[in-house]
Structure formats: structure tokens, C-alpha cells
Amino acid sequence: MLVAAALAAACAVTPEPEAVRASSDPLNTDVPVAGLEDVRVWPAQAPDGVVITLHSFRDHSGAYAELGPWLAARGYSVHALDQRGHGRREDHGRWPGIEPMLADVVAMVEQVRGEHPQKPLFLLGESMGGSAALAAVATHPELDVDGVIAVAPGLRGGIPARRLWDAAVWTGERIAGGLALTIDPDYSDSLTPAAVARFREDPAILRRVRMDTYAGVVWLAQYATDHIDRVTVPVVYLWGEQDGTIQRESVCLAARAHPGGQAEVWTDPDWPHLLLHAPDWPQTAQRLLDWMQRVQTGGPELALHAQPHQGSCAP
């Protein structure tokens, strides 16, 4: 039962047991990068900017089949990556390690930046993808990224009883790492019909989750948490009160840690964890579009808008 509860939590409540996994030393990203040719692209004509999207745990680049065309029609080309162990990538369901995950993000940014050298470039990550986006920017401050959209990102600051979860996941990873449990929640009451159908029918959705893969997602979230104060580009965090995976305090602590104060937190009482796939996603997308345009403008107005995160994070 403990393992099942941990898997169902996806990445919110399991802390980091080994300091080496989240040390202050830079990660080694001199690792092979493969599969970037499988990126899905929704191109905009004469784009005003570019968005690189990173999906959540168990999902794949098809998660952006609605948002991608929507942004492209409004001037932002979208490049969606199948992260390792997901979608069309090899070793489906296996955890590749933090270094390869971040190496793919770095390679993706460099590839897209080469194609669009003068355009604003944003990273958008959901849940696990949010962890990867934030961790990549924190580890590689030289990345030419204009901002990060962190949607219910895998962050773990302020989690109660962290060390108890620590021990559970650490033990499960080593003793029962190959144990796989079925994770197939019903999203019919919270997501759009298209998203519900995709999660129910798409064979690329990861449904059998290994304990060591789940643990890897946790350690990635911990790495992002421990290095969040190194993220210097503007960030907008989105979190909903119907989110049973990520805690508000984890997001609020991350926003408060921004060294330049350019971090906003948007909350909504009706948003689920996968809020970009909720029925009101077009309204949320319009707000994100406005935010990206604000970041492109920069200056005092951006810092002014960043201040309300204190209110969103009030007890």
C-alpha cells in the first residue's frame, strides 16, 4: 500500500535522501542526445516567438495537440519534446537519469535557438516537465531562454514529513525498483474530452510505472527545488487548488527564491493538476500569451506584475 500511495502522488511528497543527487556541483550533460528528430512542431507564420514544451510524467509531446496550434495561430511556434522514457522515445517507462533529461532540454534549446536566433524563446513545462525546465535553466545559466512557464511544476519545498517519504522511496527504488504498478486515473471530471480520450486510449501514455522510474521523477523534482534560486530568468508559476499532486507552499517558496524578484504565481480554485488540459485552457493560454509579450517588453512593468505572487501565496 505504501508503494501504491507513493506512485499515486506522482512527485509531490517524496523527498531527496542522497545529497549527491542534489549537490551544488554542475550536472554532467556530456551525454549522448538522441531522438530530437521526433519533436512535434506547430509552426507559426513569421513567428513573434518560440515555445519549447515539456510534458508531465507518463505523458508525451501529444499533450500539446490543442495548445500548440492555438499558440501557432497567434504567432508563437511550438516545439514539443518527447522526454526520455516517454512517448516515442526508446526505453519507454525507464528512468534515464537527471543528466540525460537535462541534456535533452539543453540540446533542444540550442537547436531551436539556432533556427530562430532573434526570436524570444520560452520554456513551458508541466509537472515533471516543469522540474526539467527549471533544473535545466538553473544548471545552465548560459542558456538563451527568455522565460519559464512552470505549470504545477514538480517542486518539493515545504513538504511535511519529507524524510519519511525519503526513506520509503529510497527503499522502494533499491529493493523493488523493477516493481511496476498500474496508474490510470479517471480525468473525466477535470479535463477536456480530448484530453480524457487521449489518456484513456493513447498507447503512448505510460500506465505501468516502475518504482525506480517514479523515484527518478522525485529526485529530479528535488534537484529543481534545491537549485531554484539559480533561476534568474522571469518565471510564471501556475497552480490550482484542485491539485492533489503539487503543494501550494512548494510553488510559493520557489517564487520567493527568485533572485531578481521576477516570479509570478497564478492560482485558481478550479484548476486541476493538469490545468492546461482543463476546459478553461484557452483563457489560461491567453493569459500566458499576454505574459510572454510582457516579458518581451521587459522593464519595470514586468517587475511590477511580479509582485502579486505574495498575495497568491498568502496563507
Cell, residue 277: 488540459
pLDDT in tens, 131-170: 999 999 999 999 999 999 999 999 999 988 777 877 788 7
What pLDDT does residue 301 have?
Answer: 60
Query: For 2-312, which CATH class?
Result: alpha beta
Q: Is the dihedral of CA 226, 229, 233, 237 positive or negative?
A: positive
Q: Do 44 and 75 form a contact (C-beta atoms < 8 A)?
A: yes
Most confident of 6-15, 83-92, 168-177: 83-92
Contact by Cβ (8 Å): 150, 77: no
- How many other CB atoms are there within 10 angstroms of residue 32's CB atom? 6
pLDDT confidence of residue 6: 42
Under the banding of pLDDT at 50, 70 and 90, the label for residue 299 is: low
Cα–Cα distance for residue pair 153/129, rounded to 1 Å:
7
Query: Taking Cα atoms as reference points, which of 213, 253, 256, 239 lies closest to residue 14?
Result: 213
CB atoms within 10 A of CB 161: 9
State whether the Cα torsion 10-12-13-17 is positive or negative.
positive
**Three-state SS for 42?**
strand
Write down the residue that cell numbers 515533471 correspond to: 128
Mean pLDDT, residues 224-238 taken together: 97
- Contact residues for 266 (Cβ-Cβ < 8 A; gap 6+): 236, 237, 238, 239, 287, 312
Unique residue bearing C-alpha cell 477536456: 192
Residue range 166-204, pLDDT digits in tens = 778 878 888 988 888 899 899 999 999 999 999 999 999
Q: What is the pLDDT of residues 34-64, one digit of tens each?
A: 456 678 999 999 999 999 999 999 999 999 9
> Rounded to the nearest 5 degrees, what angle is found at the Cα of 134, between the Cα atoms of 130 and 135?
110
Q: What is the pTM of this model?
A: 0.89
From first CA to last CA, the distance across the chain in angstroms is 32
Q: How many CA atoms lie within 13 A of 85 on its CB side?
A: 23
| Beta-strand pair 40-42/76-81 | antiparallel
Q: Where are the domains of the chain?
A: 2-312
